[in-house]
Amino acid sequence: PAVIRREDYRPPDWLVPDIALDFRLDSMRTRVASRLQVVRNGDHDRPLVLDGDGLTPVALRIDGVATDWRLDGDALVVPLPGGAHVVEVEVDIAPELNTQLMGLYASGGLLCTQCEAEGFRRITFFPDRPDVLSRYSVRMEADKARYPVLLANGDPVAAGDAGDGRHWAEWRDPFPKPCYLFALVAGDLVANRDSFTTLSGRKVDLGIWVRAADLSKTDHAMTALKLSMAWDEAVYGREYDLDVFNIVAVADFNFGAMENKGLNIFNSRYILADPDTATDADYDAVAGVVAHEYFHNWSGNRVTCRDWFQLSLKEGFTVFRDQQFSADQGSAAVKRIEDVRTLRAAQFPEDSGPLAHPIRPESYMEISNFYTATIYNKGAEVIRMMHAILGPERFRAATDLYFARHDGEAATCEDFVVAMEDGGGADLTQFRRWYSQAGTPRVVATLDHEGTTARLTLEQAVPATPGQPDKQPMVLPLRTRLFCGETSGPLCDERLILLTEPRQTFVFDDIATRPVLSINRGFSAPVTVETGRDAADLAFLSAHDDDPFARYEAMQQLMLDTLVAAVAEGRGDHGAVIEAVRNTLSDPALDKAFVGEAVLLPSEAFVGEQMLVVDPDAIHRAREALRTDLGKALEGEWRAAHAGAQANRFEYSPAAKGARRLKTVALGYIAAAGAADAAELAHAQFTGADNMTDRQGALTTLVNGDSALREAALEAFYRRYRDNALVLDKWFTTQALSTRDDALDAVLALEKHPDFTLANPNRVRALAGAFTANQRGFHAADGRGYGFLVDIIVALDRINPQTAAKLVPPLGRWRRFDEARATLMRAALGRIVETPGLSKDVFEQASKSLG
């Protein structure tokens, strides 16, 4: 497949200021007629080239005259004599047969679209690139009984009957937009309707459209939408700009959601929530994704991307914005912990593996492979660092300038950084390396103390990544503070250290006693820091640091050091961790949500990340042994924590969520202790729960154990929710993540379960995607875990290449495993690459993963 390079960017040869689209909708044969006003861009004689994907013109007219057409590959090449023309093209497409879920497709009786990144070319011929901005008017005609609701971007302008049981509607979007933001939906939907009055007093009609049976599950999303609209006005001065804002939930979706102008389309998992079916984490995810897509209206839609290499311009910035929003709604500390955990679980492995790329990549074969944790989550960390360097006021001045300067344009990451410099008054010359260098920087910190002076020496190195053997030093903003172990007081104010050289020493005066280092507080830079702090210092910080993230981090480091030593030596000394956890559990000043996070052991995968060669079985043994000792040593505390949250009736508030979190964590430790009544306790929580958080938490505990109640709970859960696809996904995932020895056998059996299907991406992710996170099960020494994944990838590739390609990266971690596993993983990748007729999506991921 061809490689697309950033350096090859050229402005479009032709612009399309206006487009009119006419859809005669039908699930098997939709006729799409498009009318493009095209204008030559610059002095050249090149033809108009319209991208297509699997399309054949039914008719082509230029300035009203029928014309012969010529395809070059999939593209329609139209030689045009003048500077401006009207080009009309008609095509037929079959939404029902569109299993890729890109373009116009059918989902549960609805017709809907997904155009980002390059799906519009599956609907009609068009210059499918984000720097061609057009005003859209859309007419849809459809069977009135099957598709009573017809929605598109912008505002509705007219509707009527078309006779023969058909009807039509017209929508117009006044804001020029790239075609990746085009959307329509036709279906039998009902709306949760509300309104929002903007800062300047305009009333916006809001609608969340779902199947009638799901209407009762849309209130949380609506609340989140209104909170997001108000938040963006208050924090970024961004007001909504159309008279309507619609959201539609669909069951079959390749991603989380899509920010189409005025018509967001969502994976139903990020809209539907009620206490019986959604966990607290689901509620938070709904609010976060609703906010994310809404915020795109400015960071992505009003200011869009010039080309797909600039994807992080909209995604990194918008993730940062949604993280800020969520932090403002509840516990900022817990939100930061969760975001860093996600970064470490998804992005750090990417950054240290064969698919590592900078947040602004230099090349790709298939752009949908670059919707990665690096673009999104590391991209957000890069914006966060600029926020830290400038401070909130100057950052706001800079974003105001960015939006004012580039409104209505297709911009670049460089434009964003220049706006940060001009509006925020900073020189970000060296900082720009975050856009071009891949890899997670490593910092080694050494703290010396003599007399009343402490010297902190910091060394940084950025590891080599594919295509980037030599790296330059980065700008690392490290929030730092010194504490005194004996008196527990801070010894200095927090400093924002800017590490810019490979090695620098920072001096702290008036430090009379031996200091304890607290560094990278709030995870101010997305790096790893090696401090050499001993167990006593870590335990001290875990109890006394005034930065909650640093406190959590100290506990994690203590746990990690303990586990790594245990893996190396076969047995561990758990005393320090037990005492630190005891202190945390007994600190009445801490909120329960924080405690629930702080006392959790790092995942097996994250322990593996610390090792040169991952030994999944040894890590599992070491972690289970520590869990058991923690459970036993603190059984009284766990029981108190569990019982303390028992009376909690469902309420979606930070305090109630925190109590539920700690309750299930405590239950897990009681089970780990081997308590005789653990299964009964879990089963009582399972049957007595008035919410999904408690129910799924209890199910997880039972599924990880071997009590007779295990099968009964699985069966009861299945029977209760067999008709609810989103909850059934949880049933698959809970089993895929089981810590039991038979997890792999269970997954192989579940693949044959009548409710498992490759047609629904959520279901695939729920079983196969989740299983790749089960380090011991997936990396079973006999390679059956790899075989399972390859079979799924190859079969799914024929249906939905995008979703299939997302399953490949875990196999690319082969360099981190022992020779035998590495050989099996490479063979698995080889099997994929050699499959005839492979998509470029999967080919790119698998061939790069082979290294």
Based on CB atoms, which residue is closest to ligand HT7, 310 or 738?
310
Based on CB atoms, which residue is closest to Zn ion, 315 or 338?
315
Q: Give the x-and-dash track for 372-411 against ligand HT7 (CB under 6 A).
A: ----------------------------------------
Q: How far is the CB of 265 from ligand HT7 (least distance, A)?
A: 8
Based on CB atoms, which residue is closest to Zn ion, 109 or 256?
256
**293 carries an active-site annotation:** yes
Q: How far is the CB of 300 from ligand HT7 (least distance, A)?
A: 7
Under rule CB under 6 A, which residues in 301-320 are in contact with ligand HT7?
A: 315
Phi, psi (5° rounding) for residue 288?
A: -65, -40
Closest residue to ligand HT7, based on beta-carbon distance: 255
Q: Give the x-and-dash track for 300-339 against Zn ion (CB under 5 A).
A: ---------------x--x---------------------
189 CB contacts (<8 Å, ≥6 apart)? 110, 148, 149, 209, 210, 211, 248
Q: Supply the Cα-derived Rg of the chain in whole angstroms.
A: 28
- d(CA 524, CA 150) in angstroms, rounded, equals 46
* Residue 225 contacts ligand HT7 per CB under 6 A: no
Q: How far is the CB of 293 from ligand HT7 (least distance, A)?
A: 5
Q: How far is the CB of 557 from ligand HT7 (least distance, A)?
A: 32
* Residue 93 contacts ligand HT7 per CB under 6 A: no
The footprint of ligand HT7 on this chain (CB under 6 A) covers a number of residues equal to 15
Angle at 280 between CA 604 and CA 327, to 5 degrees: 85
- d(CA 633, CA 625) in angstroms, rounded, equals 12
254 CB contacts (<8 Å, ≥6 apart)? 101, 102, 114, 761, 800, 802, 803
Q: Which does 609 bind (CB under 5 to 8 A by kind): Zn ion, ligand HT7, none?
A: none
Based on CB atoms, which residue is closest to Zn ion, 282 or 315?
315
The amino acid sitting at 463 is: P
Active-site residue, from 88, 141, 293, 366: 293
Q: How far is the CB of 371 from Zn ion (least distance, A)?
A: 9
Q: How far is the CB of 138 from ligand HT7 (least distance, A)?
A: 20
The footprint of Zn ion on this chain (CB under 5 A) covers a number of residues equal to 2
Q: How far is the CB of 113 from ligand HT7 (least distance, A)?
A: 10
Q: Which does 760 bind (CB under 5 to 8 A by kind): ligand HT7, Zn ion, none?
A: none
3-class DSSP string for 793-845: HHHHHCCCHHHHHCCCHHHHHHHHECHHHHHHHHHHHHHHHCCCCCCHHHHHH
Q: At what angle do helices 548-569 and 332-342 cross, to 10 degrees?
A: 40
Based on CB atoms, which residue is closest to ligand HT7, 292 or 660?
292
Based on CB atoms, which residue is closest to ligand HT7, 326 or 352?
326
Identified binder of ligand HT7 from the candidate list 368, 369, 700, 733, rule CB under 6 A: 368
Q: How far is the CB of 318 from Zn ion (least distance, A)?
A: 5
Q: Which does 802 bind (CB under 5 to 8 A by kind): ligand HT7, Zn ion, none?
A: ligand HT7
29 CB contacts (<8 Å, ≥6 apart)? 92, 93, 94
- CA terminus-to-terminus distance, the chain: 17
Based on CB atoms, which residue is closest to ligand HT7, 282 or 293?
293
Based on CB atoms, which residue is closest to ligand HT7, 153 or 738?
153
Based on CB atoms, which residue is closest to Zn ion, 178 or 187?
178
Following DSSP, what letter does each residue of 181-199 receive, concatenated? G--EEEES-EEEEEEEE-T
Based on CB atoms, which residue is closest to ligand HT7, 254 or 762?
254
Q: How many residues does the chain have?
A: 851
CB under 6 A: which stretch of 249-257, 709-717, 718-726, 752-760 binds ligand HT7? 249-257
- The secondary element (H helix, E strand) that includes residue 557 is helix 548-569
Q: Which does 756 bind (CB under 5 to 8 A by kind): Zn ion, ligand HT7, none?
A: none
* Residue 696 contacts ligand HT7 per CB under 6 A: no
* Residue 729 contacts ligand HT7 per CB under 6 A: no
Q: Where are the alpha helices (DSSP H) in 689-800?
A: 692-704, 709-721, 725-736, 743-751, 761-764, 770-771, 775-778, 784-797
- The count of other CB atoms within 10 Å of the CB of residue 8 is 9
Based on CB atoms, which residue is closest to Zn ion, 315 or 547?
315
Show the tokens assigned to 86: 């009207």
- d(CA 324, CA 306) in angstroms, rounded, equals 26
Q: How far is the CB of 382 from ligand HT7 (least distance, A)?
A: 16
Q: Give the x-and-dash track for 796-815 against ligand HT7 (CB under 6 A).
A: ------x-------------
* Residue 122 contacts ligand HT7 per CB under 6 A: no
- d(CA 382, CA 755) in angstroms, rounded, equals 41
Q: How far is the CB of 446 from ligand HT7 (least distance, A)?
A: 40
Q: Is residue 737 within 8 Å of 710, Cβ to Cβ?
A: no
Q: How far is the CB of 122 from ligand HT7 (least distance, A)?
A: 12
Identified binder of ligand HT7 from the candidate list 27, 254, 774, 800, rule CB under 6 A: 254
- d(CA 740, CA 725) in angstroms, rounded, equals 25
CB under 6 A: which stretch of 124-132, 278-286, 292-300, 465-473 binds ligand HT7? 292-300
Residue located via tokens 């939930």 = 249
Under rule CB under 6 A, which residues in 437-456 are in contact with ligand HT7?
A: none
Q: Is residue 717 within 8 Å of 699, Cβ to Cβ?
A: yes
Phi-psi region of 260 (alpha: psi -120 to 50; beta: other; left: phi over 0): beta
187 CB contacts (<8 Å, ≥6 apart)? 109, 110, 111, 112, 146, 147, 148, 149
The amino acid sitting at 444 is: V
* Residue 347 contacts ligand HT7 per CB under 6 A: no
Under rule CB under 6 A, which residues in 257-276 are in contact with ligand HT7?
A: 257-259
- d(CA 456, CA 437) in angstroms, rounded, equals 26
Residue numbers annotated as active site: 293
By CB under 6 A, name the binding residues for ligand HT7. 114, 116-117, 254-255, 257-259, 292-293, 296, 315, 368, 371, 802
By CB under 5 A, name the binding residues for Zn ion. 315, 318
